Structure 1
Amino acid sequence: MSWVSVVVVAVWAMLPAYVPNNAAVLAGGGRPIDGGRTWGGRRVLGDGKTWRGTAVGTIAGTALALALDALEPTVSDALGVTVPGFPMAAGVALALGAMLGDIAASFIKRRLDRERGAPVPGLDQLDFVVVALLAAAIAAPDWFADTFTLPVIAVVIVVTPLLHLSTNAIAYVLGLKDEPY
């Protein structure tokens, strides 16, 4: 597989995990998951992690996986690269895993006494990736093994922080986020 093919497969396969957090930002607001509770004198998660955002993000990522699955033959033919289809379990796992990864990162940040939106390099860019991949590996192990080869995972780890920083900067410029990172 050429490096271009690896990049195409990596980005395509991760789209259902890339979209949920952006959809959650657009859905915005609602009841915080932690209900305002604290642990050790700090919020468990904070106001930025809401039930509505989590639900909308998961639904958006899953819906995208279904759409990509339908488009897979056409896209593979058009690009000359075989992109993977998405079994339902994989689509849901990638989307929900991305949301859970972001929630886990918020929990960690609160334990580190970081305020909402405060950067934690590495954690901010890869939290959702690690949990999304783990969830997909558990929910759809054969699909995961066929799709996420070592070169594809390497590309995901390199490309994701670049995409994350770019989309956050755009959201900041559009007034959708309070910080550009």
Structure 2
Amino acid sequence: MTWLSVVATALWAMLPAYVPNNAAVLAGGGRPIDGGRSWGGRRILGDGKTWRGTAAGTAAGTALALVLDALAPAVSDVLGVTLPEFPIVVAVTLAVGAMLGDVAASFVKRRLDRERGAPVPGLDQLDFVVGSLVVTAVAAPGWFVDTFTLPVLAVVIVATPLLHVSTNAIAYGLGLKDEPY
């Protein structure tokens, strides 16, 4: 694989996992997943994790994967790289896994006594990546192994925090987030 192929595959394959949390921010609000309940004297997840945001994020990531499938042949021709296509199970698991990873990170943050929006470097940037990769590996192991080679995973691990910080700063600048990280 050329470096272009590795980078293109990494970013293309992760797009359906990158979008859900952003869509959840835009569509969020409403009833919290934890219903306002606490555990050990702290909220289980907090008000930032809502059913509406989770559903919107999952739908957005899944829909994006389907759009990418339609675009894959043309983009592959332009780049000279064969980009992966997303079977429906993968389209769903990348998005659902991203949302589950984010929810799990909120649970961990509450256990660490961190307030909503408080930064936890590393966890904030990779929670959704781990969630999407684990859920997809379990649901579609063949696709996962074919797509996420070690070089592709390395690009995902390095590029994701950079993309995450950049997009959060933009969302903060647009007034869509309360914190720039």
Which category of TM-score, normalised to the shorter sequence, fits these structures? over 0.9
Q: Give the Cα–Cα distance (whole angstroms) in 1 for the partners of residues 179 and 87 of structure 2.
A: 35
The answer for unaligned runs of 5 or more in structure 2 is: none
Q: Give the Cα–Cα distance (whole angstroms) in 1 for the partners of residues 72 and 141 of structure 2.
A: 20
Aligned residues: 181
Note the alpha carbon deviations across 1:122-155, whole angstroms, 9 max, x for none.
0000011011001111111111111000000000
Give TM-score, length-normalised by structure 2. Answer: 0.99
Note the alpha carbon deviations across 1:56-103, whole angstroms, 9 max, x for none.
000000000011011111111111011100000011000000000000
Q: SS of 2:82's equivalent?
A: coil
Partner amino acid, structure 2, of 1:86: F
The RMSD of aligned alpha carbons is: 0.5
Match of 1:133 in 2: 133
Structure 1 position 54, deviation (Å): 0.2
Identify the range of structure 1 (138-147 vs 42-51) with the bigger mean alpha-carbon deviation: 138-147
Q: Give the Cα–Cα distance (whole angstroms) in 2 for the partners of residues 149 and 10 of structure 1.
A: 9
Q: Give the Cα–Cα distance (whole angstroms) in 1 for the partners of residues 24 and 121 of structure 2.
A: 21
Q: Give the Cα–Cα distance (whole angstroms) in 2 for the partners of residues 69 and 136 of structure 1.
A: 17
**Is 1:51 aligned to 2:51, yes or no?**
yes
Q: Give the Cα–Cα distance (whole angstroms) in 2 for the partners of residues 120 and 91 of structure 1.
A: 28
Q: Give the Cα–Cα distance (whole angstroms) in 1 for the partners of residues 140 and 84 of structure 2.
A: 13
**TM alignment of 1:26-175, pairs within 5 A:** 26-175=26-175
Note the alpha carbon deviations across 1:38-58, whole angstroms, 9 max, x for none.
001100000000000000000
Match of 1:3 in 2: 3
Match of 2:21 in 1: 21
Partner amino acid, structure 2, of 1:21: N
Q: SS of 1:132's equivalent?
A: helix
Partner amino acid, structure 1, of 2:25: V
Structure 1 position 13, deviation (Å): 0.2
Identity of aligned residues (%): 81
Partner amino acid, structure 2, of 1:27: A
Name segments (4+ residues, structure 1) moved above 3 Å. Answer: none
Q: Give the Cα–Cα distance (whole angstroms) in 1 for the partners of residues 145 and 105 of structure 2.
A: 26
Give TM-score, length-normalised by structure 1. Answer: 0.99
